[in-house]
Amino acid sequence: MRQFLWLSGRTWSKNEQPPNDGRVIHTIRISDSAPEPGRAVHPLAFPERRDPPGGDLKAYRAARKDGTRAFTLWADHYRQQVFAHVVTKSAVKGGSATYEVLGAAGESVALITREPAMKGGRIRTRWTVQQAGAAPAVGLKGRPFWWFVWWLFSPVQLAIVVGSIISGSGDVARPPRRTRWRIDRRVVLDYHSGPGSAFELEVKADWWDSRVTAGLVALLCSHEGWMGNDWDLARD
Per-residue pLDDT of the chain (236 residues; tens, 9 = 90+): 789 999 997 555 555 555 666 789 999 999 998 877 778 999 999 999 999 998 899 999 999 999 999 999 999 999 999 999 999 999 999 899 999 999 999 999 999 999 998 776 677 899 999 999 999 999 998 766 445 554 555 555 554 444 444 444 444 456 667 899 999 999 999 999 877 668 899 999 999 999 999 999 999 999 987 656 799 998 76
Are 98 and 112 contacting, i.e. CB atoms less than 8 angstroms apart?
Answer: yes
pTM: predicted TM-score of the whole model, two decimal places: 0.85
* Torsion sign (Cα): 120, 124, 71, 73: negative
3-state helix, strand, coil in the chain (%, to 5): 20, 30, 50
User: Which DSSP string do the residues of 86-143 spell out, in sequence order?
Assistant: EEEEEE-TTS-EEEEEE-TTS-EEEEEEEE-TTSTT-SS-EEEEEETTS--EEEEES-
d(CA 122, CA 113): 14
d(CA 20, CA 47): 17
Neighbouring C-beta atoms of residue 134, cutoff 10 Å:
16
Closest listed residue to residue 231, CA positions, set 18, 4, 3: 18
* Torsion sign (Cα): 41, 43, 44, 46: positive
Confidence at residue 35, expressed as pLDDT on a 0 to 100 scale: 79
Are 212 and 129 contacting, i.e. CB atoms less than 8 angstroms apart?
Answer: yes
d(CA 87, CA 50): 9
Question: What residue ranges do the domains of the chain occupy?
Answer: 3-12+21-142+177-233, 144-173
Confidence at residue 10, expressed as pLDDT on a 0 to 100 scale: 58
User: Which DSSP string do the residues of 9-23 spell out, in sequence order?
Assistant: -----TT----SS--
